[in-house]
Structure 1
């Protein structure tokens, strides 16, 4: 794996893979800017008081030190549950390492091809560590297996050789977070910080390797295997260089945990002409992985985004689960809470049996006269098979979610598209720090 990552050349990567990288990168840029606009993220930046530096805080109007940018951009990226994910990796490979690679690339003013290769190394290594790791029940995937990907990407950017890259990957695998899934459902934003820690730990691992301090002792078997669950090392190199996992990820159109998406998608076609006051109950059947998100109560943004009753009720009332749906004013709406309390979530064996190819939900809405409306959603919209969202779809969503920031979205799309051919990437990346909102035409 170290040899593959160290030798990865963007010129040898198939065009469809580079196109998919551009789309994932656009999503990362746009969703990070969206998260950066939240009041709580602005408050965190103020409390952090990071010194000026070469790396952009995307959409936040500042450039700061590499470490601060890697951590703060990662937290902003995952703060609205809109970041790209991969069901085969069982988590979010890009968010684990892209912020670190991009911050380091800005500092180094790295070439576009080197930055593109580093991003691909980060994604592919993280995804394979995700495939290899079977976390214990109750463990959350943020900040554990993905650290190795952050280390791999940063090692490629520094031009480390195969042995040093392998040592960086091994060190990253020895720096996992042991996070509990209940932190997400309870609404503890430490869950977002786990992604900051992943990117920061990737930088630590590669610096150790560059200094000659890192060793390759197979530490993943102990940290990710013995302590956190199980680890199948054969998965690390399975299809490496032939199968590109980045082409098999999913994008999100709902600002909520991906396990809530099939249910939200299922109710949208049912809402036309439906009077919510006549709904007596809503039964949501889902797979075993999503069955723990049944609480109809929430007290902050994160706990709302990890509630299927919240997502279903919001989709029925608003026609979407947008990024502002979890704002305090909206999530506190009595009508929304009342409808959510009529949602019951259960696990269905037949839906669990269809994992991972399908992450399905079946929704039955019962009205006060006993009439029932049922719809099944086999995969969420935006999933890898076959309903992928295209670049125009992603741009359209980002512009709708970032009113007055169309120029930033267009700039992000251009950087993402042009990156593999840029002579130097630093200036283009720093241009994404711009937080200027365009004036509406008079």
Structure 2
């Protein structure tokens, strides 16, 4: 009897046959890029993004929901974990710590972002990088490189696609960024990078844009789950799981987004770094409010440094479409207040600035601020919408009861690439957020550790500082 043998093509080869060119390029780029390839401005900006995320996490971890969640999840851990839950004084497993740190980092609406990606790449990758890096004892340079690469691929998916208007960007393409960050720290090959990207593409959450408008604080967990799922994407790949051949193209071209442009994924790859085009925030509110808040700041200066709320008859705002949606004057909680343009302007006038305390429960209950918010009207101007995404314009007009009017217009938000905060501004923001948690001396040590991270043989110096308990105590 003659036995006929057939040539069996391995599954991996069949998968590779259908892979798009951009994905192969990204696999090679992510696997081969070394820290020495990062331009000096990219290294310095990555340090600032890391510092900014740490500050947002530490401050956000003090919110009552986070304290309760940390306590509940700690009860489910068998012994102390390895990764610091920043600002709590606890350590947990990498998966839980990345979830908690990512969630805390979005609580106060102060984490950095990228206007071109239309989202917040940093908080989707930094917790995953710290969690994986702690376990692997990586160098500081490797941590910075992994953060920059994860930030890059997440941002580029955001740039290359158009999320459905009903989607919130948190918890979507950031998962791919977290996964690539983990894969880089694990020393993944090009093929492993590709497979990790494909697996992670399936893990975007069904995020509703209405959560932010209604004050649904579940929204704050989206970035936390992205970090956790990104770490899991690597573990699945390492265990032999495979994803769709072109998962990103399918998910971000037909499922949760559309009009995916693959050429954007590799345009000037390795030359234009998205982390160097990011923005930082000082107003503790949704970034869509920042143009109007900056314009209001100009008006307050015109008025001599302060405005009596009782002297205001109305405030009129013309702005772009996404900002115009934030028109509710009756926010029900802190998150909703941060996504209310009328309240953000009113509380800024009453409290002198759109600070963290200006959105807390006591400030929300302030009758003067609430009454003023009801006198704010918000309209979309199509000509301003047409300036997106490069510009974020707003016109504000304050009409006083005595007939006077003061007005101002801005085209960009302070902190954007066109009008950036200085490195010292970002460090000052970090101090404002972190000193109430740890005190000034400890905060200065963290800043110094991050500044010198590219020369650190491992990241334990940094993570050791981040593991410190808050100075005003949590029950342990």
TM-score of the superposition, structure 2-length normalised?
Answer: 0.89
Q: 8 Å contact 2:309–2:368 — kept in the other structure? A: no
Partner deviation per Cα, 1:101-142 (whole Å, 9 max, x = no partner): 111101111122221111111111111111112011121100
How much does 1:407 deviate? 2.7
Match of residue 352 from structure 1? 385
Match of residue 283 from structure 1? 316
Q: 1:63 aligns with which of 76, 80, 91?
A: 91
Question: Which moved further from structure 2: 42-51 or 338-347?
Answer: 42-51
Q: 8 Å contact 2:347–2:369 — kept in the other structure? A: yes
Aligned 1:118-267 pairs, distance under 5 A: 118-215=146-243, 217-230=245-258, 231-267=260-296
Q: 8 Å contact 2:84–2:463 — kept in the other structure? A: yes
Q: 8 Å contact 2:116–2:159 — kept in the other structure? A: yes
Aligned 1:289-304 pairs, distance under 5 A: 289-304=322-337
**Secondary structure at the residue paired with 1:373?**
strand
Q: Distance in 2 between matches of 1:115 and 1:396?
A: 23
Query: Does residue 428 in structure 1 map to residue 470 in structure 2?
Result: no
Gaps of 5+ in 1: none
Query: Does residue 398 in structure 1 map to residue 430 in structure 2?
Result: yes
Aligned 1:366-405 pairs, distance under 5 A: 366-385=399-418, 387-404=419-436, 405=439
**Secondary structure at the residue paired with 2:207?**
coil
Q: 8 Å contact 1:166–1:216 — kept in the other structure? A: no
Q: Distance in 1 between matches of 2:73 and 2:161?
A: 33
Q: Distance in 1 between matches of 2:342 and 2:73?
A: 35
RMSD, matched Cα: 1.6
How much does 1:21 deviate? 0.6
Q: Distance in 2 between matches of 1:265 and 1:81?
A: 17
Question: Which moved further from structure 2: 211-220 or 121-130?
Answer: 211-220
**Secondary structure at the residue paired with 2:313?**
strand
Gaps of 5+ in 2: 1-25
**Secondary structure at the residue paired with 1:78?**
coil
How much does 1:273 deviate? 4.7
Q: Distance in 2 between matches of 1:307 and 1:8?
A: 42
How much does 1:289 deviate? 1.9
Q: Distance in 2 between matches of 1:403 and 1:166?
A: 41
Q: Distance in 1 between matches of 2:45 and 2:427?
A: 14
Q: Runs of 4+ in structure 1 displaced over 6 angstroms? A: none
Match of residue 17 from structure 1? 42
**Secondary structure at the residue paired with 1:85?**
coil
Q: 1:328 aligns with which of 361, 376, 390?
A: 361
Compared with structure 1, are the counterparts of its residues 273 and 115 closer, same or farther at alpha carbon in structure 2 (3 Å cutoff)?
closer
How much does 1:402 deviate? 4.0
Question: Which moved further from structure 2: 151-160 or 200-209?
Answer: 200-209
Q: 8 Å contact 1:281–1:365 — kept in the other structure? A: yes
Q: Distance in 1 between matches of 2:359 and 2:211?
A: 17
Q: 2:138 aligns with which of 107, 110, 115?
A: 110
Q: 8 Å contact 1:54–1:430 — kept in the other structure? A: no
Q: 8 Å contact 2:86–2:101 — kept in the other structure? A: yes
Compared with structure 1, are the counterparts of its residues 332 and 369 closer, same or farther at alpha carbon in structure 2 (3 Å cutoff)?
same
How much does 1:311 deviate? 1.1
TM-score of the superposition, structure 1-length normalised?
Answer: 0.96
Match of residue 51 from structure 2? 26
Q: 8 Å contact 1:63–1:433 — kept in the other structure? A: yes
Query: Does residue 317 in structure 1 map to residue 345 in structure 2?
Result: no
Match of residue 22 from structure 2? none
Which structure would you say has the larger Rg?
A: 2
Q: Distance in 1 between matches of 2:245 and 2:177?
A: 17
Q: Distance in 2 between matches of 1:197 and 1:133?
A: 21
Q: Distance in 2 between matches of 1:409 and 1:378?
A: 34
